[in-house]
Amino acid sequence: MGNIEQIREVFDKYPIEAVLHFAALKAVGESVVEPEKYYLNNVANTLNLFKVMREKGVNKFIFSSSAAVYGEPKYNPIDESHPLSPISPYGWNKAMVEQIMKDYSHAYDFKYVALRYFNACAAEPEAETGEWPGSSANLIPLVLDAAIGRRENIKIFGTDYPTEDGTCVRDYIHVVDLASAHILALKYLLSGGQSNIFNLGNGRGFSVREVINMVKKVTGVDFAVVEVERRPGDPPILIASSDKAQKEFRWMGENAG
């Protein structure tokens, strides 16, 4: 989205009614050491897209946001009224785009839904789509890589968090459930729904060590685990309340709730 003329070409070529936005860099740790890269791609380039949408009269937008907007949570499960306090440039990217959408919604004929993902995981059940091998920075693919010998070990970043086993706790949501939420959000906007924000998660948390131990149990492989220092930008616990999405969309994915 860095080339605004190419965006215009797409809008000129196709009869677009709404935009679903998935184009972003998403590694929290990388955003801390390369913030410029993240602000340019995730914020500035999204403004390019908004500019073209306004030019072409397209006013419905579904945004892939993130639980990273909450920062260090004051309570769990986290609902949408929780204060926003990002602790990484990635989290600020998402919060900034959410604020831009609110401003656009007030100033222009612009309707949006922001979907705050918690930890997306897994792949399409028929294995026709999924993460590109070797490209992921997410825990579950990396642990599975260690189990099959593609990696020498799996690292645990921090074992001194205020959790039961000292490792971070996350709410894992299946990508199929995320996909179904996007379809429901699109129907919501097309049927006249107002701009809104929704959490997408399971409402249950699993620690890094629990995920690693479960992969060892399922695969029968006792791969190496290396404990290292915490990464910047990682809150101890993130667990979603998705009650709002379930109420507004009647969203209840196979793994949600």
Q: How far is CA 106 from CA 49, 130, 164, 196, in A?
A: 18, 37, 44, 13
Q: What are phi and psi of 164, to 5 degrees?
A: -60, -40
Secondary structure letter of residue 164 according to DSSP: S
What is the rounded CA–CA span in Å between residue 106 and residue 162? 41
- What lies within 8 Å, CB to CB, of 99 at 6+ separation is none
- What lies within 8 Å, CB to CB, of 52 at 6+ separation is 4, 7, 8, 11
Q: Which of 38, 70, 90, 188 is catalytic?
A: 90
CB 140 within 8 A of CB 131: no
Asked about 108 being catalytic, the answer comes back as no
Q: ∠ CA 205-211-214 to the nearest 5 degrees?
A: 120
Q: Which residues are catalytic?
A: 90
